[in-house]
A and B are shown apart, each in its own frame.
Chain A
Amino acid sequence: EPEVTQTPSHQVTQMGQEVILRCVPISNHLYFYWYRQILGQKVEFLVSFYNNEISEKSEIFDDQFSVERPDGSNFTLKIRSTKLEDSAMYFCASSPNGSGEKLFFGSGTQLSVL
């Protein structure tokens, strides 16, 4: 079965640094998502992306966050100035056609902000 690929699997950074989390969605999918899970808490929605623009975002997704599809295959999440509370597992997901479709998740990037 096709997979969503995320790199790196672990990222350690200092508070205030910029990080970029990378994802390669399934090739024929049109909708892309970022979710995160703080240790011991629920998986929570961050942002959805379609047709090269954000379609939905949560209140967590403030000006420190941005997403980009720089080419035909990659989908990135950038955190400009990391905070301690950004430490979490970040999941990328994709779906063929959006609402009501099965979401395929990557294996996640564990971000640790020191």
Chain B
Amino acid sequence: KQEVTQIPAALSVPEGENLVLNCSFTDSAIYNLQWFRQDPGKGLTSLLLIQSSQREQTSGRLNASLDKSSGRSTLYIAASQPGDSATYLCAVWDGATNKLIFGTGTLLAVQP
């Protein structure tokens, strides 16, 4: 059964710092991996999608990498800003069950 885990569960950094969020999954048979942002009590905003054949995707200050064979993805945020404070979720499209399976999330706080 596919399990998606995110480390750390919570992270607090000063403004301007570069940071890395980690995501791991137990079954490498995935179609893609998506990173989402969730503000408190709000919906899910898609940040980046990496297809299983890709190694990384970039959007602005965000860079996501995927190492499918080792079951890992990282989300790199450059020059963090207080507005980046949110929960970041990774999700894999699981090939075995044909579902998008979410991780536990990382709660990020960027201190001004």
| Chain A residues in the interface with B (C-beta under 8 A) | 33, 35, 42-45, 48, 55-56, 58, 89, 91, 93, 99-100, 102-108, 110
Q: Let me know if A108 and B99 touch, CB within 8 A.
A: no
* Chain A hits for B91, CB < 8 A: 43
Q: Which of B12-29 contact A (CB under 8 A)?
A: none
Tell me the B residues contacting A by CB distance below 8 Å: 31-32, 34, 36, 41-46, 49, 51-52, 89, 91, 93, 97-105
A42 pairs with B104, CB closer than 8 A: yes
Contact B43 A45 (CB under 8 A): no
Contact of A110 with B49 in the complex, beta carbons under 8 Å: no
* Contact B100–A103 (Cβ < 8 Å): yes
Contact check, A108 vs B100: say whether CB atoms are below 8 A apart.
no
Please determine whether B42 and A48 come into contact, CB atoms closer than 8 angstroms: no
The A interface is mostly helix, strand or loop, or mixed, namely strand
Name the CB-closest residue of B to A92. Answer: B43
B76 to chain A, nearest CB (A): 20
23 contacts between A and B (CB under 8 A): A33-B100, A35-B102, A42-B102, A42-B103, A42-B105, A43-B44, A43-B102, A45-B100, A55-B98, A58-B99, A91-B44, A99-B31, A100-B31, A100-B32, A100-B93, A102-B32, A102-B46, A102-B49, A105-B36, A105-B45, A106-B43, A108-B42, A108-B43
Q: Using Cβ atoms and an 8 Å threshold, which residues of chain A touch B104?
A: 42
Scoring B43, B101, B102, B103 by chain A CB atoms within 10 A of each residue's CB, the highest score goes to B43
